[in-house]
Structure 1
Amino acid sequence: MIAVAAAAAAGRLCVLLRPLLVRYALARPNARSSHRIPTPQGGGIAVLAGAFLALGLVLLFMPLPAGARDTLLLVMAASVLLAIVGAWDDIKPLPAWLRLILQALCVGLVLLYAAPDVRLFPALPLPLERALALFAGVWFVNLTNFMDGIDWITVMGIVPLCGALALCGILGPLDQGSGLLAAALLGGLVGFAPFNKPSARLFLGDVGSLPIGLLTAYLLYRLAGTGALTAALILPLYHVLDSTITLLRRLARGEKVWEAHRSHFYQQATNNGYAVSEIVAQVALLNLGLIVLGAMTIAFPNFWVQFAGLFAALLLTGILLRRFSRKRFSLAG
C-alpha cells in the first residue's frame, strides 16, 4: 500500500509542479544531453515528496522497533538536505569542490547516525572502514546523477532494485524500516515514470537524482550489513560498472571528469543506432536478471554460490556494456 500511495502522490505532484518547472527550471540541451528541446527538470521534488509523504503516514500509524523511526527520519532529513543542494545546482551550478563537500556531509550524516551499527569488514580498523564507506557513498550519489542521462534509465535502474529491497524487508534479511523506505521510493519513481517516458516531458534533475542516490546507497549498505554483501554488489551492477568504467577511461584520457560529456555506455548506444526505449528495456531486463542472481546469493550463502552469482552478474553486465559500445548490426547496412 505504501508504494501505491507514494505513486499516487508523486504523480499528482508532477502534474501540479510541471507548469512552475516549465517556467523556472528548464533544462537546455548541452554536450551531455540526449534531448534536443528544452525540457523542465525538477521532477525529483515530486518523487521525494510523494515517497516521504507516504512513508510519513505509515510511520504515524505503524509500530516499528525501537530506534527505527528515528533512523528513517534522519535518513529522510539528510536526503532533503541533499535535494536542496541538487536544486541549488540545477538553478545555479555549484563549483565541483563545494558540491562534493556538501554531498560528503549528507552521506557522512547518514553513515554515522543512521547506520552506526553496520560493519562489513570487522578486520579493518573502524575509521578506515568508515572512510571507505563514505567514499563509496559519495561515489554512488554521483554515479546515480551521472546515469540519469536519458529518459527512463533511472526508473528502469532503481525501480527493480527498490522492488528487490522492499521484498527483502518483507521476507528478510533487510529490516522492516528499510523495506518500507524502499517501497516508498519505488512508488515515488513509478508515479514519476509516465512523465519521464521517451520522449520525456519532465526530468528528475539533480534535486531528484542526488537524494535517490543517497537513499539507494543507504539501503544497499543496510543490506550488505546483514551479510548479503554479494547481493548488495550485484543489484546495482549496471549503474556501477557503466559509470565507473566511464570515469576511469576519462581520467586515463586526462579529461575534466566534472564537465558534461557523452561517454557513458548508454550514451554510446544512442550514437550506435539504439533507440532510447530499446536501451532502457535492455537495462531493465538485465536488472531483473541481477535480482535473480542476488536472490540466489542470499538464499545460498556459501562461497561458491557467492562467487558464481557475482561472476554471472559481471558477465551479463559486461555483455550488455559491450553491446552498447558497438554499432548496432543492421541488415540494411
Structure 2
Amino acid sequence: MREALPLIAAFGTALLLGWVMRRAGIIDRPNQRSNHERPTPRGGGLGILAGFFLALALLPEQSPANGAMLAGLAVCGGIAGLTGLLDDWFTLSETPKFIILAVISLALAGVAGPVLEFGVALPWLIGLAGTGLWVFTTANAVNFMDGSDGLILACLIPACLVLGLAGGGDVGPASLALAAALAGFAVWNAPLLHPRGTLFAGDAGALGASVLFAGLALRWAATGPDGTVWLAALLILPLLGDVLLTMAARARAGRRLFAPHRAHAYQLLIRTGSSHRRVAAIWAGLSLVCGALVLIGAAGPAGLKLAVFVIGVAGFTVFHRIVRQRAAAAGEDITQ
C-alpha cells in the first residue's frame, strides 16, 4: 500500500484539479486551426503537474544524487508549465517562449545528464547541446500534437509505463507517478465516456508534462546501458515522428516550416472523417507497439536497441505515408 500511495495521490490530485479547472473560466476558443468547434475549458495541465509533484514528495527516500536530479527535473517542469500557463492566459510572443524553453532544455540536459556516447564518445559541450536540442524538440513536438482529445495521453501514458518498467530505480517510480497524474487528467480529456473531452491541458500541461517526460527518458538514456538513447527516442516516436515527417513533407512542398497548419497525420485523419476517439486509439496502439519494441530492445545488446529503433521508425514512416496518401486521394491539401 505504501508503494501505491504516490500513484494514488498523483491520480487523485490531477482528477480533482481537473474538476476545478473545468469551472475556473480559462477557455480555449476555436480558431481556423482548431479541431474543436465549441469553447472548451483548459488548464488541466496544472493538475498533471501538481499530481506529479505531490507524488515525488511521497516517493521513498532517494539517494542524494537521484533526489537532486528529481528536484532539478521538478523545477524545470514547473517553469515550463508556468510559461505555458502564462501563454494560455496572455498569449506570449514567440521570442520569450523560445528563449525560456531553450534555457530549460539546456538546464534539464545538465541536470539529468547529457548523453555523451552516441556510437562514439562526444565532447561534453556537444553532448550537452545535442541533448538540450532533444529536450527542446520533444517539448515542442508534444505541444504541436496537443490538438486532439486524448492524443498526447495516448502516447505519454504508455511511454511512462514502459519507462517505469525499464528505467530502473533512478526513473522507474517517478515515471509511474507521471503516468498516474496523466491518467487522472485523462478522465476529463480522453474521449472515453463522452465523444469529446471536456477539458484541455493547455500549454501548461503540454509543455510541463513533456519536459518532465523528456527529463526522465533522458536520465535513462544517460545512465542506462549502451544504446539506451535509441530506446528513449522510440518511446515517444508516434509524437516526434508525426511532427518531423510532416515538417519534411512541408519543406519539400515549399511551405514555411513554422507557419500554422493542419497537415499532421492526426489532423488529416480528423479532416477525412475519423473521430477524436478513433485517432487517440490509433496513437495509443502505435505507442504500445513502440513500448513493446523498447522492452525487447532493453533486454538485449546495443545492436538490438538500434535495430528495434530502426524497425519502429520504418513502420511509422509507412503508416504516415499511407495516411497522407489517403487524405490526398480524398481531396485534402496535405501540406497546409
TM-score (norm 1): 0.89
Identity percentage of aligned residues: 29
Which amino acid letter does the alignment assign opposite residue 138 of structure 1? F
The reply to whether residue 187 of structure 1 matches residue 156 of structure 2 is no
Indicate if the aligned counterparts of 1:269 and 1:279 stay in contact, CA closer than 8 A.
yes
In 2: Cα distance, 1:137 partner to 1:117 partner? 11
Which amino acid letter does the alignment assign opposite residue 55 of structure 2? A
In 2: Cα distance, 1:269 partner to 1:72 partner? 38
Q: How many pairs are equivalent? A: 317
Which amino acid letter does the alignment assign opposite residue 27 of structure 2? L
Q: How big is each residue's C-alpha offset from its partner over 1:219-268, in whole Å with a ceiling of 9 and x where there is no partner?
A: 22122221312211221111111011222333444544444321111001
The reply to whether residue 216 of structure 1 matches residue 220 of structure 2 is no
Indicate if the aligned counterparts of 1:161 and 1:236 stay in contact, CA closer than 8 A.
yes
In 2: Cα distance, 1:306 partner to 1:116 partner? 20
The reply to whether residue 146 of structure 1 matches residue 159 of structure 2 is no
What secondary structure sits across from 2:112 in the alignment?
Answer: coil
Indicate if the aligned counterparts of 2:105 and 2:133 stay in contact, CA closer than 8 A.
no
Which amino acid letter does the alignment assign opposite residue 136 of structure 1? W
Q: How big is each residue's C-alpha offset from its partner over 1:111-139, in whole Å with a ceiling of 9 and x where there is no partner?
A: 22x22465233522211121111112111
Question: CA 1:45–1:259 in 2, change beyond 3 Å: closer, same or farther?
Answer: farther
User: Cα RMSD (Å) of the superposition?
Assistant: 2.1
Which amino acid letter does the alignment assign opposite residue 92 of structure 1? F
In 1: Cα distance, 2:114 partner to 2:130 partner? 15
The reply to whether residue 178 of structure 1 matches residue 171 of structure 2 is yes
The reply to whether residue 54 of structure 1 matches residue 65 of structure 2 is no
What secondary structure sits across from 1:327 in the alignment?
Answer: helix
Question: CA 1:117–1:207 in 2, change beyond 3 Å: closer, same or farther?
Answer: closer
Q: Which aligned pairs between 1:118-133 and structure 2 lie closer than 5 A?
A: 118-121=115-118, 123-133=121-131
> Could you list the runs of 5+ residues in structure 2 that have no partner in the other structure?
328-336
TM-score (norm 2): 0.88
Question: CA 1:306–1:167 in 2, change beyond 3 Å: closer, same or farther?
Answer: closer
In 1: Cα distance, 2:240 partner to 2:86 partner? 25
In 2: Cα distance, 1:277 partner to 1:126 partner? 44
In 2: Cα distance, 1:190 partner to 1:116 partner? 28
In 2: Cα distance, 1:40 partner to 1:120 partner? 44
Deviates more, 1:313-322 or 1:215-224: 313-322
Q: How big is each residue's C-alpha offset from its partner over 1:66-105, in whole Å with a ceiling of 9 and x where there is no partner?
A: 2211221111011111111101111122221211100011
What secondary structure sits across from 2:289 in the alignment?
Answer: helix
In 2: Cα distance, 1:125 partner to 1:147 partner? 33
Task: Give the deviation of 1:50 after TM superposition.
Answer: 1.1
Question: CA 1:260–1:277 in 2, change beyond 3 Å: closer, same or farther?
Answer: same
Q: Which aligned pairs between 1:30-109 and structure 2 lie closer than 5 A?
A: 30-58=31-59, 62-109=60-107
Indicate if the aligned counterparts of 1:120 and 1:224 stay in contact, CA closer than 8 A.
no
Partner residue of 1:331? none
Indicate if the aligned counterparts of 2:114 and 2:131 stay in contact, CA closer than 8 A.
no
In 2: Cα distance, 1:319 partner to 1:254 partner? 22
What secondary structure sits across from 1:19 in the alignment?
Answer: coil
Partner residue of 2:203? 206
What secondary structure sits across from 2:62 in the alignment?
Answer: coil
Indicate if the aligned counterparts of 2:106 and 2:132 stay in contact, CA closer than 8 A.
yes
Task: Give the deviation of 1:16 after TM superposition.
Answer: 2.0
Q: 2:23 aligns with which of 15, 19, 22?
A: 19
Q: 1:197 aligns with which of 182, 187, 190?
A: 190
In 1: Cα distance, 2:300 partner to 2:279 partner? 32
